Structure 1
Amino acid sequence: MKKQNLTKTLNPGVKFLINYAVPIIFTILVAIAIPLSGLSGEYLARELMTRLARNSFIILSLLIPVMAGMGMNFSIVLGAMAGEIGLIFITDWQIVGIPGILLAMLISTPLAILLGYFGGIVLNRAKGREMVTGFMLAFFMNGIYQLVVLYGMGNIIPISNSNFLLPREYGIRNAIDLIGVRSALDKLIYLKVGGLLIQVVTLLVIAVLCMFIIWFKKTKLGQEIRSVGQDNDVARISGINV
């Protein structure tokens, strides 16, 4: 109570500095570091635009499973595993550009749904222990992924490009060059302002994700999905057909 009263009596400027101390300090550090780095303004603007679009896409895509009741770590592991398997296949098959991205999505989406379904069954049996169970399940799923990628691919699952395989001739290397699909979405439609490349399609996809999240939060169906994800029993009592 005393802290709240003290905050109310503070000068608005001081209050602003206290509330936004972290971004203010970060901005000051960046302002000092930019001249010292010796990097050009054009390069920094280009990198800022690229990373802003990329990171916004990642964060927004992670919000949806988390809002639906999946743990942060668990949802990241599931999505990453399914997506990486799709990318491995399309890179091995040398399918590049937007067709490659679409095919990777086509491969990874059923995998993600399947993993999510079985993961949901486990989490539904761990009432009150979802966080711990999510960590354990994430490690277990990651172990299955490692088994498939490091021992199955090239051994049971055919991989035609030997450059992807470990020296033992099976198992995928730690790093694969995704040059065939890298920046394919960014370069599909773009605007060039000076040396700055504005990725129109990527920004449109981000806008669609934002609209979907708003829909997810506002509509009855979205509320029901969130309710089921948060507590199955409460959702059932509320009249949701679980």
Structure 2
Amino acid sequence: MSAQKRLTTLFSRYAVVIIFVIITLIAIPPSGLSIKYIVQEIITRLGRNSFLVLALLLPIYAGMGLNFGMTLGAMAGQIGLIFAVNYGIANWQGLVFALLVGLPVAVLLGWICGLVMNRAKGREMVTGYILAFFINGIYQFFVMYMLGSVIPIRNRAIVLSRGYGIRNTLNLESVRQSLDNIVMLRVGGYTIPLVTFIIIALLCVFVVWFKKTKLGQDM
């Protein structure tokens, strides 16, 4: 294969990435941002966005669509964070608490989603849309009406003025960058959130291992 053909194949395969990189490089000088700042932001956002990518992989493997499975998981995670803020659990302990609360909810929602999807083969996209809206309705009912009325809330700062229901926005400063701040590795003036990348690497290994299991191959 000639060099020109290899370049053509490479560009056609990675056209989106190449165009994005070119546009980004062109936009750096007019932005007025320093290279150090941009590299540091790339490192920070790489860790943050990697979790989103990993959260999308298994739902895609399972045929649940690009975003619908992650929507259910996000709702479960938000419920966990609400209770973490309510009980005043901060830092990485707050994230672990949110995980322990949200994981059973996510498993339940995933099980329900799987039951529905198995009955909607060939119509997964539309079914995923409707399912996400349906679960969102239940989530809104739970958060806006049950919390504070049926389920007691200690932290009144997160409750609506009517006395029940959770505010639309919560202050998550107590758990912000809690994983990143556990161990910060400083290399050449840049800070690398070591624990965050270790967890991402472990999750990547889990996804690869899971795909090799019988359940993963059946998805």
Change over 3 Å in CA distance of 1:39–1:220 after alignment to 2: same
Q: Does 1:48 align with 2:53?
A: no
Q: Which residue identity lines up with residue 187 of structure 1 in the other structure?
A: N
SS of the counterpart of 1:72?
coil
Report the Cα distance in structure 2 between the residues aligned to 1:150 and 1:209, rounded to whole angstroms.
33
Match of 1:149 in 2: 143
Deviations 1:84-119 (A, max 9, x none): 000000011100122211111111111111122222
Deviations 1:11-38 (A, max 9, x none): 4445544444433332222112112111
TM (norm. structure 1) is 0.82
Match of 2:71 in 1: 77
Unaligned runs of 5+ in 1: 1-6, 227-242
Report the Cα distance in structure 2 between the residues aligned to 1:53 and 1:179, rounded to whole angstroms.
18
Match of 1:27 in 2: 21
Pairing of 1:1-242 with structure 2 (within 5 A): 11-224=5-218, 226=219
Report the Cα distance in structure 1 between the residues aligned to 2:99 and 2:7, rounded to whole angstroms.
49
Q: Which residue identity lines up with residue 166 of structure 1 in the other structure?
A: L
Deviations 1:36-91 (A, max 9, x none): 11112222111110101111121112212332343333211210110000000001
Contact 2:54/2:204, CA 8 A, preserved across alignment: yes
Q: Percent of aligned pairs with the same residue?
A: 53
Unaligned runs of 5+ in 2: none
Report the Cα distance in structure 1 between the residues aligned to 2:10 and 2:66, rounded to whole angstroms.
31
Report the Cα distance in structure 2 between the residues aligned to 1:150 and 1:195, rounded to whole angstroms.
45
SS of the counterpart of 2:110?
helix
Contact 1:61/1:209, CA 8 A, preserved across alignment: no
- How far off its partner does 1:153 sit? 1.5
Report the Cα distance in structure 1 between the residues aligned to 2:115 and 2:18, rounded to whole angstroms.
45
- How far off its partner does 1:161 sit? 1.8
Change over 3 Å in CA distance of 1:34–1:108 after alignment to 2: same
Report the Cα distance in structure 1 between the residues aligned to 2:123 and 2:179, rounded to whole angstroms.
40
SS of the counterpart of 1:168?
coil
Report the Cα distance in structure 1 between the residues aligned to 2:117 and 2:185, rounded to whole angstroms.
45
Contact 2:76/2:102, CA 8 A, preserved across alignment: yes
- How far off its partner does 1:169 sit? 2.5
Change over 3 Å in CA distance of 1:97–1:149 after alignment to 2: same
Contact 1:166/1:172, CA 8 A, preserved across alignment: yes
Change over 3 Å in CA distance of 1:81–1:15 after alignment to 2: closer
Match of 1:239 in 2: none
Change over 3 Å in CA distance of 1:9–1:200 after alignment to 2: closer
Report the Cα distance in structure 1 between the residues aligned to 2:57 and 2:106, rounded to whole angstroms.
16
SS of the counterpart of 1:191?
strand
Report the Cα distance in structure 1 between the residues aligned to 2:7 and 2:55, rounded to whole angstroms.
36
Q: Which residue identity lines up with residue 218 of structure 1 in the other structure?
A: K
Q: Which residue identity lines up with residue 113 of structure 1 in the other structure?
A: V
